Amino acid sequence: MPATKVVVNIPGEVPYDVRIGDAVLEGLGTSLKRLPAVADAPHLLILTDTNVAPLYLDAAKASLKIAGFRVSDVVVPAGEEAKSVAVAGEVWNAMAALGLTRDCAVVALGGGVVGDLAGFVASTYMRGIPFVQVPTTLLAMVDSSVGGKTGVNLEAGKNLVGTFKQPAYVAACTATLVTLDEREWACGCAEIAKAAVIDSDEFFFWMMDHAEAMVARADAVVAEAIARSVVFKANVVAADKTESRGVRECLNYGHTLGHAVEALAGFGTFSHGAAVAEGMRFAARLGADVVGTPPELVEAQGELLDGLGLPSLAWSAPAEEMLAAMKRDKKTRGGQVRFVMPRDIGAWELVGVDDAVILEHLRAWEASK
């Protein structure tokens, strides 16, 4: 199947391509040699993790070396714990020890954790060097590899330290998805579902019609879902690169409760996608009270998430603890927690909600578990 190309064109930034296909990793070196920001780089550093390295590091290095690049690699521990200031410091020191200069580049080979970490160290090392995203998970392909958000976690919460830096290129090789387990597959499906709810009737009902094929990992449907999600996110980011105009906030749908779930359950207890799916269910029910979200939407969204292998979590935490965790999130303004709520499919609103209302819904959520 030929590769699909989506161009991400953000005002004030150099446009970049997202290539989606099953032979994109094999052609990585050739693609980067055509890329002005990277073509003449004297040294490339591949940043990957202990899960991905045994699977795809050799193939990535071979493709880059055949194209004439000098390549080194740094392998970090797999998991959310690697997305930390401490690990970033280790990578910065490794980059310095390798003699990387401002005309070198970083290649992120892995999922969202690797991509966020690689983008963060690339954006800060020597005040910024180019980086390339080579996502190997469905979640990273449809969401975190596109748009330029980078970051690391603190004990207080996720992504509290970070930068905005667009990649020079994104190579989404669908052949790497065959090694994903069911948990990671469903994780990516959650972000696709989020995009579909926020984007349009057409995308949402296409997903409803193709949920079974997504679970079965039908090649053509998977490639189409990735492309649709990338187009959606590219359009949002083009309208609001740094989340300063209120447009990009829609990408946080499901993340207000979702990040609190991850923090209180312990990072890694639930996949990011499972937490976001739980957050989508909560935000839609909250929206029914606050902005008049139609009950039919709440039900249809639940059906889609169920169909994608994302049932409600059999977990809860005390309402007061959940609210406190939400207040530590960077989406809070003036001490008030804000939620993205769907008014309808393709229509959303960012709303600050009073603590009393949130607590009422959190207690109902807690009681339902």
Strand, coil or helix: 361: helix
> What tokens were used for 30?
């050739």
Residue among 27, 39, 28 at smallest CA distance from 104: 39
Phi and psi (nearest 5°) for 263? -70, -45
DSSP 41-96: -S-EEEEEETTTIIIIIHHHHHHHHHTT--EEEEEEPSSGGGSBHHHHHHHHHHHH
Strand, coil or helix: 333: strand
> What tokens were used for 77?
């521990």
DSSP 164: B
d(CA 100, CA 45): 8
Phi and psi (nearest 5°) for 352? -80, 130
Q: Please, what is the angle between helix 201-215 and helix 219-239, to 10°?
A: 140
Residues with catalytic roles: 127, 149, 191, 233, 243, 248, 252, 255, 259, 272
> What tokens were used for 352?
């600050």
d(CA 95, CA 106): 10
Note the Cα 291 to chain centre separation in Å. Answer: 27
d(CA 199, CA 242): 19
